[in-house]
Structure 1
Amino acid sequence: MKLNLFIMFLVAAVALAFRMPPVTKKPNIILILADDMGYSDIGCFGSEIKTPNLDNMARNGLRMTGFYNASRCCPTRASLLTGLFQHQAGVGDMVNARNQPAYQGYLNDQCVTIAEVLQQSGYQTYMAGKWHVGTRPQHWPVKRGFDRYFGLIDGAGSYFGDQPYRPNQKLSIIQDDKVYQPGKDYYATNAYTDHALEFIEQNPKDKPFFLYLAYTAPHWPLHALPEDIAKYKTAYRKGWDKLREERFARMKAMGILPKDTQLSPRDPSIPAWEALPAAEKADWEDKMAVYAAMIDRMDQNIGRVRQKLKELGEDQNTVILFLSDNGASHEDIDGSGFLPSILEDSQKPASDRSSFTAYGKRGANLSNTPFRLYKHWEFEGGTATPFVAYGPSVVQGGRIDHRPGHIVDVMTTCVELAGATYPQTYKGKSILPAEGISLVSLFRGKPWQGHDALYFEHEGNRAIRQGDWKLVSEFPDNQWHLYNLKTDRSELTDLAAKDPGRVRQLEAKYSQWAQRIGVIPFAELTGK
């Protein structure tokens, strides 16, 4: 009798086990970062540039219109990777070494990278693309939690190889921890993706992966493939004035911008398009065709990644996040530190493979529609980024969310997605608490509290956003300006004189934050 009862119990237990849902693998996470790409430079944020893969992700995922970066390449990368403000991670300015810990120029040992955290939670960790948060071998990606790496350690370079552009410069294209010599058919955007696909293909079937895919596109120099440039040969003949208006109209029609948003005036240093000589028009059209082609090729490669996920059966269990490291770049290739040969090459047409040029303010003003100013400043044109989140198992699709988010949120988001634990110590060192708030609830369409305030500082440029209010200044003027972003996202009407009490309140909050995270006034830091 007892034996029969045992057998019956065993049969029931087995039956119950077979009815239980299978244990699912943790989601793969892909973080894609564009370089120097403006707010309106992809189709799903208003651009004329063809980005069908990103547009599809946006249509079936989430667009956040109020997401922010740190307004410059390496500070953003330091903050994005660590979930701290860049000063806390040791990259308060650029990667040039300084004695002050917050400005040492590489990731310190008081922070952990997303890769280091997820590695401890069973993830394989991969990176392809631009590093730019530590140039010495002891600071490279494989020393900061990445199992495999391929890409550019430095901040910029030719897309066709490893050509130096400054005196005494050696650019480092690295595979894992060894120097890689590019071949004659090398094109950086394709090469980063080739290695990323290799990493994904070789990933153990029973292990989730984290991939950080940091494209250099569309950072200068303007280098693209002829077949991509050809698509945009006539796309910019209307000129920057008409194209800004067209982007602006699409952004409002899409719901990226409120209907009552105003388009910022053309940068006062840029002439009206119709007043431009024909040769200058042709030069700009050529530069923009190459710039558009770079973004187009990046989107094609994102499509290759998505196709590989589908082939491997991983597409439904992968979350993809896309954003840019700063606003569009106003920089030109001029006499400040470039090799004479590079300055000569900067005079060639951008579509010439041997050129080395940039599109300057004239292109950046279009890329940052509807905002003013650019990379480096803390006005919206410097620090606002398009943000797309896609993942069928996590992200409730077909939505646009206008609430503000920040790059510090990416670490906490990845930690929650991975079911990981953010450490208090790592390799015997105390780790600073993460500053971000996970976006997973927002992704799922559930209540999300968000931040009390967001803070920004780069080379003396400062800002704080609390709710709809933003207080911002630029160096060396250091004059506070106050905007209500709900009614004035383009920052055109300064309310500081009308609301001095709010200015004082926000300035006090900013000062407390700056002191806490180690900001040194830029004049004091540089002696200028």
Structure 2
Amino acid sequence: MIKQRFLSLSLVLASGFLLGLAPQKVQPNIIIILADDMGYSDLGSFGSEIQTPQLDALAKGGLKMTQFYNASRCCPTRASLLTGVYPHQAGVGHMVNEREHPSYRGMLNEECVTIAEALKEGGYNTLMTGKWHLNDRKEHWPVKQGFDRYFGLLDGANSYFGNRPYRPNQKLTYGLDDAAYTPGKDFYATNAYTDFALKFIDERKEKAKPFFLYLAYTAPHWPLHALETDIAKYRGKYSKGWDVLREERFKRMKALGILPQTAKLSPRDEEVPAWESVPAAERKIWEEKMAVYAAMVDRMDQNIGRLRQKLKETGEDKNTIIMFLSDNGGSYEDIDGPAFTPEILAASKMPASDPASFTAYEYEGANLSNTPFRKFKRWEHEGGISTPFIAYFPNTIKPGSINHQPAHIIDLMATTLDLAGVAYPKTYQGKTIKPMEGISLAPLFKGQKWQGHDAIFFEHEGNRAVRQGDWKLVSMFPENKWALYNIKTDRSELNDLSAQNPKKVQEMEALYNAWATRANVVPFAQLLEYDKQKKSK
């Protein structure tokens, strides 16, 4: 059906040309760029001091969405982004831990399709570089999930300078198409992902067809690894410390229209000490960590510039939509404990600028990245699920647009297919496919009214939330106590209104429970018990 429709479209275009009519717009190239563990305020166009001129230019020339949501963790976000359904519905309700339960298989199931599979059926070249993290079983590599070409990291993290297992008995895999790849001399992951993206664009077999590129950078996920030329730009820039930097970012976010003038900055996280109380020697360590983190984001931006230059050189820049976002909020994670090898634990104590190091950004850095919000990656508070979102599409998106409606990664499947003129399949390879959960953003891109969502839902490791209109109901595991916030007046979630609005809590809890049943969510305590029993057998 899809091939037949595109044949018909070709005939329409041809007949229009013969009759002297204006040609219909051709299918656009579509690029989705995903950062890894980057916080809400880490781009210049979202308030940061980090130099991100390429992304800032895309924001200035396109659309910024200030209330765009991810799924608060690497694997669930990637599953949901690629399939247009919630993570549990795609089979990745947790991480890549393989369980027998259909919502927690730890890999994409057969009841969903990827954007690549749908667009490939619709006549697209489908390309991917970067982090996959949706199971490294060979039958689940990207080239088995609709991508014509792939280069990147199949796993969740690695050294940016090569292949370096960090957990006991761990095997990490870089892949090129359907084979393992060994990084060579002068390898730096962020550059390599872009190198192969440009190579794949050049080498695509059918250049008359549009392409879809999913470019999933690992930056700025731990370990903190950057090139010296980039680090040098930020040495001495972080001596004022995270408290002052949070205030400065907050002021810029208001000036940029990211936050309303009535917004409030959340208090410094309880895990983070006041900067002035940190001993001078330790402050130097943190200054360097913040400089290296900034350098990682900076280098990612430079590489996005390389991609944009390629589009200009090939004349494809005017018919390419670029969408940028992050997979979760800033990461509080540390390199500590028996989960890591002794060698990696020792490397985590080395200076962050040393290529042999293996350090993390921890609570201190993540609290700055998530300005002005509370909490981090893994939680369903705004600091865990909020991402800067930028969409750039010349002659379609009005330059300098800004939108404050809540949207979600489930919307990207609907959006790409809408822009491409490709139908979402009811069946794929003989399997019935779950209906899309997302809503196309294309009307919004065209300056039209966008209906938005009645409600958006979140669950990860027992942390839960539902967003409906201006209201958000959220709870943390294991407390499992609902808190209610008015996001319009309190985006930083500082004033719990649950006691004053018990009926609203009941209504939204009922919404969440109905969704959890439909999405086949297992309470996290039960999931932990299941794992415990399985391990004891």
**Is the shorter-chain TM-score for this pair beyond 0.5, marking a shared fold?**
yes
| 1:499 alignment counterpart | 501
Distance 1:338 1:267 in 2: 26
| 1:116 alignment counterpart | 117
Deviation per residue, 1:404-461 (Å, 9 max, x gap)? 0000000000010110010000000000000000000001110110000010000100
Please state how far the C-alpha of 1:277 moved relative to its aligned partner: 0.4
Letter in 2 for 1:145: G
| 2:148 alignment counterpart | 147
Deviation per residue, 1:51-85 (Å, 9 max, x gap)? 00000000010000000000000000000000000
Give the percent of matched residue pairs that are identical in Structure 1 and Structure 2: 67
Please state how far the C-alpha of 1:17 moved relative to its aligned partner: 2.7
Deviation per residue, 1:476-523 (Å, 9 max, x gap)? 000000000000000000000010000000000000000000100000
Matches within 5 A, 1:226-375: 226-375=228-377
| 2:175 alignment counterpart | 174
Distance 1:19 1:415 in 2: 29
Distance 1:396 1:449 in 2: 19
| 1:460 alignment counterpart | 462
SS at match of 1:81: helix
Aligned CA-pair RMSD: 1.2
Matches within 5 A, 1:187-206: 187-203=188-204, 204-206=206-208
Letter in 2 for 1:59: K
Please state how far the C-alpha of 1:180 moved relative to its aligned partner: 0.6
Kept in 1: contact 2:17–2:23 (CA 8 A)? no
Distance 2:518 2:145 in 1: 25
Distance 2:494 2:25 in 1: 50
Deviation per residue, 1:129-181 (Å, 9 max, x gap)? 00001210000000000000000000000000111000111100000010111
Specify every segment of 5 or more residues in structure 1 that has no aligned partner in the other structure, as ranges: 1-12
Aligned match for 2:224, one of 198, 209, 222: 222
Letter in 2 for 1:172: T
SS at match of 2:405: strand
- Asked which structure has the greater CA Rg, the reply is 1
Distance 2:272 2:108 in 1: 38
SS at match of 2:377: coil
Distance 1:259 1:200 in 2: 43
Aligned match for 1:470, one of 472, 478, 494: 472
Indicate whether 1:30 and 2:56 are aligned: no
Please state how far the C-alpha of 1:396 moved relative to its aligned partner: 2.1
Distance 1:284 1:273 in 2: 10
SS at match of 1:487: coil
Kept in 2: contact 1:87–1:519 (CA 8 A)? yes
Please state how far the C-alpha of 1:36 moved relative to its aligned partner: 0.2
- Gap change, CA 1:465 and 1:120, over 3 Å in 2: same
Distance 1:23 1:80 in 2: 29
- Gap change, CA 1:159 and 1:453, over 3 Å in 2: same
Matches within 5 A, 1:86-97: 86-97=87-98
Letter in 1 for 2:243: D
Matches within 5 A, 1:118-133: 118-133=119-134
SS at match of 2:193: helix
SS at match of 2:134: coil
Kept in 1: contact 2:160–2:189 (CA 8 A)? yes
- Gap change, CA 1:421 and 1:240, over 3 Å in 2: same
SS at match of 2:363: helix
Kept in 2: contact 1:31–1:211 (CA 8 A)? yes
Kept in 2: contact 1:25–1:207 (CA 8 A)? no
Please state how far the C-alpha of 1:18 moved relative to its aligned partner: 5.8
Aligned match for 2:450, one of 448, 451, 467: 448
Please state how far the C-alpha of 1:205 moved relative to its aligned partner: 2.9
SS at match of 2:269: coil
| 1:520 alignment counterpart | 522
Would you say how many aligned residue pairs link Structure 1 and Structure 2? 516
Kept in 1: contact 2:16–2:22 (CA 8 A)? no
Distance 2:475 2:241 in 1: 31
Deviation per residue, 1:354-403 (Å, 9 max, x gap)? 00010100000000000011000000000000000001043222111000
Deviates more, 1:122-131 or 1:200-209: 200-209
| 2:11 alignment counterpart | none
Distance 1:73 1:16 in 2: 47
SS at match of 1:156: coil
Kept in 2: contact 1:197–1:308 (CA 8 A)? yes
Indicate whether 1:52 and 2:53 are aligned: yes
Please state how far the C-alpha of 1:269 moved relative to its aligned partner: 2.0
Distance 2:395 2:316 in 1: 11
Please state how far the C-alpha of 1:23 moved relative to its aligned partner: 4.6
Kept in 1: contact 2:36–2:74 (CA 8 A)? yes
- Gap change, CA 1:25 and 1:272, over 3 Å in 2: same
SS at match of 1:329: coil
Please state how far the C-alpha of 1:276 moved relative to its aligned partner: 1.0
Indicate whether 1:165 and 2:171 are aligned: no
Please state how far the C-alpha of 1:200 moved relative to its aligned partner: 1.1
Letter in 1 for 2:103: A
Distance 1:56 1:221 in 2: 28
SS at match of 1:435: coil
Kept in 1: contact 2:67–2:386 (CA 8 A)? yes
Letter in 2 for 1:242: V
Displacement over 4 Å in runs of 4+: 13-16
Please state how far the C-alpha of 1:214 moved relative to its aligned partner: 0.1
Distance 1:25 1:465 in 2: 37
Kept in 1: contact 2:413–2:438 (CA 8 A)? yes
| 2:407 alignment counterpart | 405
Indicate whether 1:64 and 2:65 are aligned: yes
Distance 2:400 2:19 in 1: 35
SS at match of 1:103: coil
Kept in 1: contact 2:52–2:298 (CA 8 A)? yes
Kept in 1: contact 2:334–2:360 (CA 8 A)? yes
Specify every segment of 5 or more residues in structure 2 that has no aligned partner in the other structure, as ranges: 1-13, 533-537
Distance 2:262 2:333 in 1: 31
Please state how far the C-alpha of 1:275 moved relative to its aligned partner: 1.2
Letter in 1 for 2:202: E
Letter in 2 for 1:154: D
Matches within 5 A, 1:14-25: 17=18, 19-25=20-26
Distance 1:264 1:14 in 2: 60
Please state how far the C-alpha of 1:19 moved relative to its aligned partner: 2.6
Letter in 1 for 2:197: A
